[in-house]
Each structure stands twice: as structure tokens, then as C-alpha cells.
Structure 1
């Protein structure tokens, strides 16, 4: 994937006479946490049962409607391997939003996510919207290693949007991106405070329950 593409800041244009706000969004997190699966679920409504590790970064786009505006996400899905860490600033530089992903069932990936958040706070734009996203909720009943309350507390203390989601089933994926879109549009949805929550209760997972946002 070429790293020389533009998308270093928001740009406005028009499609079919409507206003479009172009937004750079980056996905960060350890290898295997499901960053590519989250992106593909949101953009194409697909879940790849077998996928190879991202090399460098992959690029996707998706446009949504929020508060009467068209928000076009330019999504950079970065590689999780440590050897690509030095490339990450090239992708999150100028980003308006970042989704930092961890695997709910792997405590080490949460620790890595915490490090990513700290790096973004130090080096990315001061007004970047950051989502802390725990993926693989569909496996959490038997394998959970990161407790919801612990992750939510970290998100609230650091002014993050918090999500527990499943790229495999699609639960909370669209809601997570839409919350970002509403913030980009200038009229955030959901409870106000230091952190916002997009989470599904254990009871709602089987029947396609709603999000608490």
C-alpha cells in the first residue's frame, strides 16, 4: 500500500450537490486484535474467516450521514507487528479520529492499547477523537481477560469513547463509527462527560441487542 497518499486533514467537497466532509481515521492495535475485520465489517459488511496480517497499512473509504452532513471516512488500517511501529506516525499524523483496538480475551493487547492511547495523546492532534475498542465480544463469555469496568474506567479517565464490539457478528461496529461521525459533524450523540460508551450487554448479544450509547 502506498504511503504517499494525501488525507492529512479534513476537507470539504460536494457529491451530487451535497456537502462532504473528508475525515482521516486510523486503526491502531496489536496484531490479531481484529483491526482489519472491524474495517471490513464497517465498509463492506463482511467478516473474513481467514485473513493475513496487514503489511504496512491498508486503505478503505466509507461515507455516512450524520446531522445532515456527509462524512467520508478515509480509513487507514495499520499493521500491528512491532516492526511496523515506526511507520505509525505517518498514518495517524493529521488524523481526526483513531480507533485503538484490543482483544477482550487477551490482557496483553489491552496493555498495548493503553500505550497507543498515550502515544496519540503525546504526538497526534490535540483534538483527535479516540475510541478504545474491545473486539471479539462474541468470545468473551468463556474467554474474557479484560473486564469491562476496567477498560471503561480507563476510557473515562482519558476522555475516550469506549466500545465493546464484535467484528464477527457486527455488534456495535456501525454504532462506534457513527458516534465518531456525529462528533465530527459537531453534534455528538450520547451521554456527555469525559468518556462516551458504546457497549452491548451480555444479554443482548444473542438477539442482536442495541447499543448503550
Structure 2
């Protein structure tokens, strides 16, 4: 599993730069923007809800290869729901974020997954379910096991985080980036083989288990 200090080497073509789009989806106030700002700027502060969408870029250098993540942080308010569909089109990866202290936000994350399934072919995008705000564990309404079991049932990556405490924030983005690079390498290797399909979002169970096991 990727660690906060860096990203493991992936099987990519030497000198190749990959550009991938990552979109964050979830209810308002689950901490999507806080996660991005913690990852990008290594700080945390209370912020107002996102209006429409916020855009960030992050370049990860991997020696002979690099990955540029285009991160789209969407608004969670219901009035922006239809607009968010425009932002996640063309995405290569998605974070479905919920607040572990709000059961309704967990259900909303599941609804967003259904929306993704309407837009993309099965396995076309890397999807991670993220339970945020573990610092509020005493108020927890969604257990770790609930999140893990749902993720496993849908073949999603899964982690719990705390943007406030900087718990597993880098690991979330780095793990998704690692998966994207792995698939990019697989696509490159298979593109020369006529008729061979590339199966996406079908990573080994052991990798998913590493994300979940704590």
C-alpha cells in the first residue's frame, strides 16, 4: 500500500507523464474540501461549503515517470447535484466521501456510486469509499465494518480518514494514484495485443485488504 512519504514505483513506460482526473463526491460537510486541502497544503481549517466545484492539481514524480492528478472537489448541496454530473464526466477515479457520524451521508455515498455506474462501464474508473472524521469516533453512526463490507460488495477500495488529525489522508490519494498508474501500465502493455480487453477496478483482494486492515 502507498505510504504518506511517497508512492511506490509502478510499471509504467520510462519518461511517461500520465494525466488523470479524480473527482470527490459526497454530501455537504462530510469533509471533501478538508481532505483535499490537507493533502495539498498540509493544513486544516473550518471552511464554508464548496460552491459548484473547486479544482486542484498535484504532480507526483516517480523517477522516470510522473502522474498529474486533476482533483475536482464537488459541492455536496442538493441544489448542485445536477451540476456535479458535468464535473465527474471523463473521470478516471472517484472518492466517495461520507461522515462516519452521519448515517445519511453513508447512504448518499452509495447513491453517488449508483450515479457513477450509470455514467461509466463497470470497472472503468478507480473508486474508493472514504469514511471521514474518525476524530469524532464517540459520535460514530457508521461502523468500520459497515463501510468495509459495502466496499467489498462493490469491489471498491476503502479507507477511513481524519482530515483534522491528518490520519490516512495522503494514503487515500496515493493509493488511488498507485492504482491509476498500475492500470495505465496494464493498458500500455495490452494495447499492442489486438482484441485483448483491459479489466479495470479488479485489483487483487489482498490490495483491498491492505487498505482496509487497521
Give TM class, smaller chain.
0.7 to 0.9
* Cα drift, residue 69 of structure 1: 2.7
- For the residue of structure 2 that corresponds to 1:131, the secondary structure is strand
Contact 2:24 2:73 in 1 (8 A): yes
Task: State the partner residue of 1:131.
Answer: 128
Task: State the partner residue of 1:193.
Answer: 205
Task: State the partner residue of 1:62.
Answer: 58
Q: Deviations over 1:90-133 (max 9, x none)?
A: 11101000001000111110010110111111213541000100
Task: State the partner residue of 1:43.
Answer: 40
Task: State the partner residue of 2:115.
Answer: 119
C-alpha change, 1:97 and 1:26, in structure 2 (3 Å) is same
* Cα drift, residue 19 of structure 1: 3.0
* Cα drift, residue 68 of structure 1: 5.2
Please list every run of 5 or more consecutive structure 2 residues that lacks an aligned counterpart in the other structure: 1-13, 186-202
Higher strand share: 1
Query: How well do the aligned residues superpose, as a CA RMSD in angstroms?
Result: 2.2
Flag as ranges the 4+ runs of structure 1 deviating above 3 A.
65-68
Q: Could you say which structure has the greater relative contact order, defined with CA pairs below 8 angstroms and 6 or more residues apart?
A: 2
Task: State the partner residue of 1:108.
Answer: 104
Select between 93-102 and 62-71 the one with higher mean Cα deviation. Answer: 62-71
* Cα drift, residue 195 of structure 1: 7.5
Relative to the length of structure 1, the TM-score reads 0.79
Task: State the partner residue of 1:20.
Answer: 17
Q: Deviations over 1:1-25 (max 9, x none)?
A: xxxxxxxxxxxxxxxx943211100
Task: State the partner residue of 1:96.
Answer: 92
* Cα drift, residue 200 of structure 1: 7.1
Is it true that 1:30 corresponds to 2:27 in the alignment?
yes
C-alpha change, 1:160 and 1:195, in structure 2 (3 Å) is farther
Q: How does 1:2-13 map to 2 (within 5 A)?
A: none
Select between 122-131 and 21-30 the one with higher mean Cα deviation. Answer: 122-131
Is it true that 1:143 corresponds to 2:139 in the alignment?
yes
Please list every run of 5 or more consecutive structure 1 residues that lacks an aligned counterpart in the other structure: 1-16, 202-213
Query: How many residues are aligned here?
Result: 181
* Cα drift, residue 77 of structure 1: 0.3
* Cα drift, residue 169 of structure 1: 1.1
Relative to the length of structure 2, the TM-score reads 0.78
